Structure 1
Amino acid sequence: MQNTKTGVLLVNLGTPEAPTAPAVRAFLKQFLSDPRVVDLPRWQWLPILNGIVLRFRPKKVAKAYQSVWQEGGSPLMVISREQQQALQARLQQDVGQSVPVALGMTYGAPSMRQGLDELLEQGCDKVVLLPLFPQYSCSTSGAAFDAIASEFAGMRTFPHLRMVRDYHDNPAYIDALANSIQSHWNQHGRGQKLLMSFHGVPKRFVQEGDIYQSQCLRTGELVAARLGLSEGQWMVCFQSRFGKEEWLTPYTDETLEALPQQGVKSIDIITPAFSVDCLETLEEIAIEGKSEFLAAGGEAYHFIPCLNAEPDHIAMMSELVQKEMQNW
């Protein structure tokens, strides 16, 4: 009987290779050229992308990256590498045998093909694709599936594949989020309201069938229930909108500006759609969000980090992989 070996391709969105305008431009060109992300007709969108967006946006985004860049690279890359190593060690412990874990980004490097090749070189003929997007969206998990499928399209033979589509209501994920919030409260005290800020998507995506919004709301409900919060003590909002089209509401930035006028002077904010701290959490929420809230009259603003490479987060990933490995 032929020996078989399972590997894991850990997937995240991706990151520029440097906090410079040229590196950001290259990353944004690949990211914003994906029809899963911007689904306007190519004849309409590409002139806007190349003629306007890629001319002006990279310099601004590069400056934002410079405010959070680390010695080992972007926070997303540094922490993703930590997750990769921690998950491989945890799987060795849980399964009792080596389960190689490679890192592949939907955009940028290491690419999905680089991660896939790394697993194939180690003899893996079965691959569990684990996109670290807890809530499914066509623009994240859907794009990750497209990316791996496009690599398979050029291969004479490809490995068996199983994909974790989402884990928005997974008990271990909910517990990890709730534990991180409770731990923060134990150390720093508790604000008047807990905000759960999810990355936004165009409202039209949901109207056309994307299940992202419903899964975000379900995650929020489960975390609030796990913490024993009443209706007025928490809320879900959506960040990072781009362009003029209406996105999911309420918008995080507008919420932060409005809450102090409603008597909410202290808040805690967490970003459950992000498995890794990155530009959108560290710069947009931890820095810009705090500035917006305090400028509007807020008094205390506490950002709660992503789950990153915390042990209970890694244990949850191991559980997801082991479930996919069963009866294979």
Structure 2
Amino acid sequence: MLQAPVSTTSPLPAGHPPVKVPRVGVLLINLGTPDGTDYSSMRRYLSEFLSDRRVVEVPPLIWQPILQGIILTFRPKKSGHAYAGIWNRELDESPLKTHTREQARLLAAAMGERHGEKVVVEWGMRYGNPSTASALEKLTAAGCERILLFPLYPQYSATTTATACDQAFRTLMTMRRQPALRTVPTYHDDPDYIAALANSVRTHLAGLDWTPDLLITSFHGLPKSYLEKGDPYHCYCLKTARLLREALGMPPDKLRHAFQSRFGRTEWLQPYLEPMIKALPGQGVKNIAIMAPAFVSDCVETLEEVNQGIRETFLTAGGQNFTYIPCLNSSAGHIDLLVKLTEREAAGWL
């Protein structure tokens, strides 16, 4: 005998708190930024950043006296000067914060068009503000029972992707009710990422009235010992460079890779960017284009270190033409990529 279907919904008992409609959260996580260029703001930011055991693996008993007593006495002033040269005066913040906020806004708009109010997008920083914890709190308050962590690092490294996820996990350890989590994996060789990079190169070079002799892909450096311990970052960077060269149809001698931002006296991943740049004019390379594929947002390492410092180094050494190709930032191609990666990694949730 057929039975009437049983209802799966029932009125809430008296006094029960409101039940939010379950939603899916997406958290874009970037490296971080100081709150200002003054000494105190820079010292606070650098202390948090350089105290991360994922970043500096020297035992704290040895490292902290050096960091707090020597490095943070002098480095905040130098770093503050670098940030001051690229600071967003209108919003009183670093370009990294400006770009990350805009990426989140545009991703939210795109996901809203495709999925309605089911998806909530937030953004946060591993170091500085807005914090990863505050972003997770916003997502859970919005009813997100499932959250996709999206570290904005195409090439995985323990010093970037892993520590970003670590920070989110620490926040979850304090929660009574935890959301379900997924993390976006490395996408250094994703066809859509490579296509977005290639399109940015073509668009930029089309606007020049000269032709580069060489395209340089500059990646943030890493101590060589980290590679020897198993960090895959070096391999991922080289694969990105190779795939980009192939997508552009360039011969091997027209694209080189290098590593920038070396810190300390230990050996880092090579070739180092600055010595390479200095030597190029003497080798007959007078016109170069340079980009930083490991960064999805322009920041102090790209705008000050590369577009200002490396430009000056090259021209002083005898170079004639130098152009910096901006990061993907908030370009349509980058937002399309973020949408595709989000939908792929949140499959079954949306």
Question: Normalising TM by the smaller chain, what interval?
Answer: over 0.9
Structure 2 residue matching 1:197: 3-state secondary structure: strand
Q: CA deviation at 1:288?
A: 0.2
User: Which residue number corresponds to residue 116 of structure 1?
Assistant: 136
Partner of 2:14: none
1:33 and 2:54 equivalent? Answer: no
Shift of residue 97, structure 1, vs aligned partner: 4.1
Q: Corresponding residue for 2:307?
A: 286
| Separation in 1, partners of 2:41, 2:257 | 33
The one of 65, 72, 76 aligned to 1:54: 72
SS in structure 1 of the partner of residue 259 of structure 2: strand
Deviations 1:76-116 (A, max 9, x none): 01111111100100111233444111111000011111000
2:11 counterpart residue number:
none
Alignment counterpart, residue 275 of structure 1, candidates 291, 296, 305: 296
Alignment of 1:130-209 (within 5 A): 130-188=150-208, 189-209=210-230
Q: How do 1:305-320 and structure 2 match up within 5 A?
A: 305-320=326-341
* Structure 1 residue 41, shift from structure 2 partner: 0.7
Q: 2:250 & 2:179 partners in 1: Cα distance?
A: 45
Match for 2:112 among 76, 84, 92? Answer: 92
Cα distance in 1, alignment partners of residues 118 and 161 from structure 2? 26
Say which of 34, 38, 63 aligns to 1:20: 38
Per the TM alignment, residue 20 of structure 1 is displaced from its structure 2 partner at its CA by 1.2
The alignment-based identity, stated in percent, is 44
Q: Hey, what's the Cα distance between the residues in 2 that align with 1:8 and 1:190?
A: 41
- Whichever of the two has the greater Rg, that structure is 2
Letter in 1 for 2:39: A
Matched residue type, 2:196: A
Residue of 67, 70, 85 corresponding to 2:85: 67
What TM-score, normalized to structure 2?
A: 0.92
Match of 2:63 in 1: 45
The root-mean-square deviation of aligned C-alpha atoms, in Å, is 1.1
SS in 1 for 2:29: strand
> How many pairs does the alignment contain?
328
Matching residue of 2:282: 261
The C-alpha deviation readout for 1:202-250, integer Å capped at 9, x for no partner, is 0110110000000000000110000000011001100001011111000
After TM superposition, the score normalised by the length of structure 1 is 0.98
AA paired with 1:53? I
Kindly state the Cα deviation for residue 291 of structure 1 after the two structures are TM-superposed.
Answer: 0.5
Look up the equivalent residue of 1:288 and give its one-letter code. G
Unaligned runs of 5+ in 2: 1-7, 9-18
User: 1:287 Cα deviation (Å)?
Assistant: 0.2
Q: 1:6 aligns with which of 24, 36, 42?
A: 24
AA at the equivalent of 1:16: P
SS in 1 for 2:207: helix
